[in-house]
A and B are shown apart, each in its own frame.
Chain A
């Protein structure tokens, strides 16, 4: 078994991008940030401590924003390397670097259980509209499933899929 700490060290850019995304979404919604750890050797590998946002929606966006940001950046960075490596078996060193960075960033897209907890608190809070509850509760469930799946390398599988398979699926659609 490869210890999680080694995987985190090998894929550290993803943790940094994830925390930057959390912080920038807090900035966007004018949510006070008290402490940020962009990367450390520990669990969690990074965190952002902020005040409770005004609405459950803002809380949801702050929690799942990094999922979208990391997935998008990971896919865009890895795409030009993934096509020649997978289809043409003709990857240069730069192609492999792009794939490493893309996979690293995409595999840290998953929101953590801490993110899910803060979303849950927000939707359970008094005054949260029923529609918001209906829409956000399944998201919380999905995040927990993702977090459990991370024990079985679901985050790594997701990262590889986003970085390697997605560009090749795009090629198939455009051809």
Chain B
């Protein structure tokens, strides 16, 4: 179906005077015989009230779009830069870029997944843990789920190792306190 079209009326070379008001002085240079005043009036045909209203509404929406566009665009750019940084294994930069997106779109699953992965590689484990918490209970694609579970498993293993090291450290400190001479003998 055609959206709309501009139709031309047939020109009338042989007509005498303005075809609208019959005034003898017609405006030269046009194929359709009209006097200057009638042409001016017809060219300036007013837009109906409901069309003005619709145009105004579209204008308001356009303004709203202009207001929202910079934030969306900068988030899009940050996501793209984050992706490039991640591909080239610049994980700290990737975290910075993805965090910019999360500030604007905190519920975006794809961004949270990327942030979770890169923050782990960047060693920012607090960010990883926080992101994993936010991802809990969400529907993930198989690929996303694989990545998130891998990070989660590695983080869990790391936490266990840290706890183990912590226990060793605590035991060391306790033994140091019991033995005033210094470090315990092996």
Contacts and interface: CB of A to CB of B under 8 A. Distances in A.
Contacts of A124: none
Contact of B8 (A15, A107, A111, A121): A121
Contacts of B58: 13, 17, 73, 77, 101, 105
Interface residues of A, number: 76
A147 B43 CA distance: 28
A48 B47 CA distance: 12
Given A34-B9, A89-B110, A51 B4 contact: no
Interface of A is mostly: helix
B2 interface: yes
B174 interface: no
B1 A8 contact: yes
Contacts, number: 203
B5 interface: yes
Given A51-B34, A79-B69, A90-B107, 9 more contacts: A7-B1, A31-B43, A47-B7, A51-B8, A80-B72, A88-B105, A108-B3, A171-B76, A174-B77
Interface of B: 1-9, 11, 29-32, 34, 38-40, 42-45, 47-48, 51, 54-55, 58, 61-62, 64-66, 68-69, 71-73, 75-77, 79-81, 84, 101, 105, 107-111
Interface of A: 4-5, 7-8, 13-20, 22-23, 26-27, 29-34, 36, 38, 43-52, 54, 62-63, 66, 73, 76-81, 83-84, 87-90, 94, 98, 101, 105, 107-115, 118, 121, 147, 150, 155, 167-168, 170-172, 174-175
Q: Can you list the 9 inter-chain pairs with the closest CB atoms, starting with the nearest? A: A114-B5, A175-B80, A46-B4, A32-B42, A171-B76, A88-B108, A51-B32, A112-B2, A80-B68
